[in-house]
Amino acid sequence: MKPPKRLQPLVDEGLIDTVVRQLMSGKEAEVYVVRCGDETLCAKIYKEATHRSFRQAVDYTENRKVKNSRQARAMAKGTRFGREAQEAAWQSAEVDALYRLAAAGVRVPRPHNFHEGVLLMELVADADGDAAPRLNDSVFTPDEARAHHATLIREVVRMLCAGVVHGDLSEFNILLAEDGPVIIDLPQAVDAAGNNHAQRMLLRDVENLRHFFGQTAPELLRTDYGHEIWALYQRGVLSVETALTGQFEHEAGAVDLGGVLREIDDARDEEAARRLRLQAGG
């Protein structure tokens, strides 16, 4: 096919030989299957993410570094330059997270290059060599659900040990490759130690996994891996070899009403986003 305008510079630079087809078009990005020599890769073209609320953007970008104070002031004021700087920071966050997590052995697409707002990365494939489906498009037996859940909980731990929380992990951004689940879509990834919302985001990530796989394997609904993982992390004893039980005893104490209300807001936002995804074709 004729290369889209945003991919033409990569063709000119010799980073892409041919564009095979469009794989996905969403609100955040368009993804194309491309050929680079003997390799078949994905090219992710970022769009301006105007659908994110200001509150969500602040939560995710807290403590992220920008190049200079002028950028920081512009981002805070919401000027055009500031929005462009914020979008560039949002894109580079995914690139940085992919390289960091791939180096840590996390099951993410292997990044190849980032050029003018286009991320070149591994094409996650199924057993037939085709683009792997998302979890929400797949059907599992109870045993498969338990196995995939266990794999993904281990990947959440591996990510946290690398200092990263996904921040938006769900069945919509996990692909089912030939050898198991692969985690994608990381522009909202946060630094576990530097973001005050990291704990809440990790708990939500784990809750999404519990809810999704618990529909097929109901016993998973009785687990509490999120609080167990975070407690071990806070104590400095979490490692990729840590044996987890899925159980956690909560201490009695005052209720954080603000936190509860925030969780309700997050759940409402997530359900709205989920419905939009389904209306867009799953």
Question: Helix, strand or coil for residue 43?
Answer: strand
Determine the straight-line distance between the first and last CA of the chain, rounded to whole angstroms.
25
Catalytic annotation present for 12: no
> In sequence order, what are the residues at sequence separation of 6 or more whose Cβ sits closer than 8 angstroms to the Cβ of residue 14?
none
Residue 115, beta-bridge partner list: 118
Q: What share of the chain is helix, strand, coil (3-state, %, to 5)?
A: 45, 15, 40
- Of 244, 246, 239, nearest to 104 by C-alpha is 239
Catalytic annotation present for 191: no
Q: Which of 96, 126, 128, 168 is catalytic?
A: 168
Q: Which of 128, 185, 191, 265 is catalytic?
A: 185
Question: Helix, strand or coil for residue 206?
Answer: helix
> DSSP labels for 128-168?
TSSBPPBGGG----HHHHHHHHHHHHHHHHHHHHTTEE-SS
Looking at the annotation, which residues are catalytic? Answer: 168, 185
